[in-house]
Amino acid sequence: MTVAAVDVASLLGRVYRISDHYEVGREKIREFSRAVQATLPAHYDEGAANALGHSGLIAPTTFTAILGGVAQRCVFAEFLPDYDLSQVLHTEQHITAYRPIMTGDRLSSRITLESYRAVHGQDSFVFTTYITDSSDVVVQGSKTTVIARAGGVIDAHIADAAEHVLMAELEGRPSAVRLIDDADFTATEPQRRTSYPRIDFSDIAVGDELPTHTAYLRRGDLVNYAGVAGDPNPIHWNENIVDLVGLDNVVAHGMLTMGLGAEYVTTWLGDPGALIDYGVRFTRPVYVGVEAPASVQFTGKVRTLDPATRTATIALTATAGGSKIFGRSTATVQLG
């Protein structure tokens, strides 16, 4: 077992809390909604959100990518410094939403390294993150899988090139957040809130198909998402880094494509709060060139129905350039 493996093993199951809370602002919700091409009025207009039973603007389901990214960067920076995040690949994401995130929420993040595997020259990490409100009630949980080169081996040329294009660090600036050991934390599932989807359970049958939707991504969309979500990885906007890594072109963020899928489902539902469980396995990148936007086509089919909970499971398909970009993707939604 390598030294890196020993260090990683010592982290398994330990719970860490980000030292400061995140306060959700109405303009940040609007910014993020625009970045993931969300069109429902409840993301932008308080009156529309109130009409759905929400007390403020509703954030898109994948809004918590902002907090999860901060937590994961803290873990790697403090405990796994041999791994270069510009060379870490996001392969799978699963989100469980207990209630929508709204304007004014004061959110805390707790992160756990749930599992670690070293296989075929790669290290695979699975992180579990819990987002809690000011009362310490869980509002969203997520599971994130990333892979990196075994033992944290870094390509020095890529690391050096990335250092020269990333935003400069401010020397002497105190760190805004740090990790705090939180061994006493126990996640408890709260009661789900009532949602107000426009789709009634009695109007849906297994096999029903959602309307097809095509989203378009330009280079500017990637740069915008990188800034709004706080994801600085240069493979999403810098061609020199892309060449060094060996990719065909700059690639869309996995969480951006997942966000597009979430908005596809919630737009069909008519209520951003009606998406309660959503998982994606990323299998192929979405390349975005300079001559024309990349197109991502979404389709969905009702796979199962649960009359006891009035929920449906939707099987999603996302394709770009004629290939599936999600290996497997399902969404559980609340129906009326």
Q: Which residue has tokens 């109405």? A: 26
Write the DSSP symbol of residue 115.
Answer: E
Domain membership of residue 3 (yes or no) is: no
- Position 325 in a domain: yes
> Residue 301 falls within a domain, yes or no?
yes
Identify the pLDDT of residue 139: 94
Q: Which residues of 100-123 are buried (b: 16+ CB within 10 A; e: fewer)?
A: bbbbebebbbbbbbeeeeeeeeeb
CA count, 13 A, side-chain hemisphere, 86: 24
CATH of the domain at 182: 3.10.129.10
Residue 174 has a pLDDT of 57
297-300: which pairs have CB atoms within 8 A and are 24 or more residues apart?
297/212, 297/213, 297/214, 298/212, 298/213, 298/214, 298/215, 298/260, 298/261, 298/264, 299/209, 299/210, 299/212, 300/209, 300/210, 300/264, 300/265, 300/268, 300/331
Output the pLDDT for position 277: 97
Q: Would residue 5 count as lying in a domain?
A: no
At 5 the pLDDT is 47
pLDDT score for 163:
59
Asked whether the whole model's pTM tops 0.95, one would answer no
Give the total number of structural domains in the chain.
1
In a domain, 101, yes or no: yes
pLDDT at position 169, please? 57
Q: Which residues of the chain are modeled with pLDDT < 70?
A: 1-6, 86, 150-176, 189, 191-196
Is 206 a domain residue? yes
Residue 121, pLDDT score: 80
Give domain status of residue 113, yes or no: yes
**Residue 2's pLDDT is what?**
44
Domain range for 131 is 10-334
What pLDDT does residue 80 have? 80
Residue 1 domain-assigned (yes or no): no
